[in-house]
Each structure stands twice: as C-alpha cells, then as structure tokens.
Amino acid sequence: MNSNNSLQADLSPRGAMFSIRSKAMVIALGICGAVASTAAFAQATAGSLYGWAPAGQSITVQSKEGFHRQVTANAKGHYSINVVPSGVYSVTLEKDGLPVVTHQNVNVIVGRGQEVDFVCRGSKCPEASNN
C-alpha cells in the first residue's frame, strides 16, 4: 500500500460535495457573526430611559444633537424609551401637547437605564429638579 494515497485529498464526487458544504457553512457562520457583532455594537452605544408619569400622558426626550422620541405612559403610569444614544437630554412631560414639567441635563450612559420620574398628584406636577 502506498503511503502517499492516504495523504491525498478525497477528490471523489462525495468528497468534493463535502468540501463545498464545509466552505458554505464557514461563509454562512462568518456572515452571521458579522451581523451579530454589528447589532451588539449598536446596542453598546445606547442606553435607555424609564420611569413613572401620569397614565396616558406623553413623555418626550430631546437632545441638542437632534435626537427626539416621544412615548405615552401606560395605564399604570410606566414608560420606557429604549435605544437612546449616550448623551445629555431633556425629558419633558406633556399634557395636551403642552410641556408641563421638564427634567434638564439627564445623562444617558451606554448600557444603562436612567430613571426619570414625573411624580404628580392629581393633575398638577411639581417643578422638576435638574438631574
């Protein structure tokens, strides 16, 4: 028996098909890894805001750089705003489209949630403190 035969690649149709499948699998895994790392990187540059406000009222987050998002507090008065780029924001409670209370200088940190509450009694909210 020739020892060189055992070192040669299997060039049979079955061996060639295995080789193509192996290469396709490596390429597919590489693409999936690249997509997953891009998604992880996007999340690694953002944080979130959450808190309590009168049920059904609007909460708007705004940065000087132009980021703007608005959500509504749910029936229990909870709200959350996810994927907020890190930075400094003003967070405003609005009623009927008009600002009621604004928290200035709210710092959003990468990978963290920042609580911003609007504690209101009845329909009147106290003045917001600077955070």
pLDDT tens-digit series, residues 60-96 = 999 999 999 999 999 999 999 999 999 999 999 998 8
Q: How far apart are CA 93 and CA 100, in angstroms?
A: 6
Residue 108 has a pLDDT of 96
The tens digit of pLDDT for each residue in 89-123 reads: 999 999 888 999 999 999 999 999 999 999 766 55
Residue 129 has a pLDDT of 41
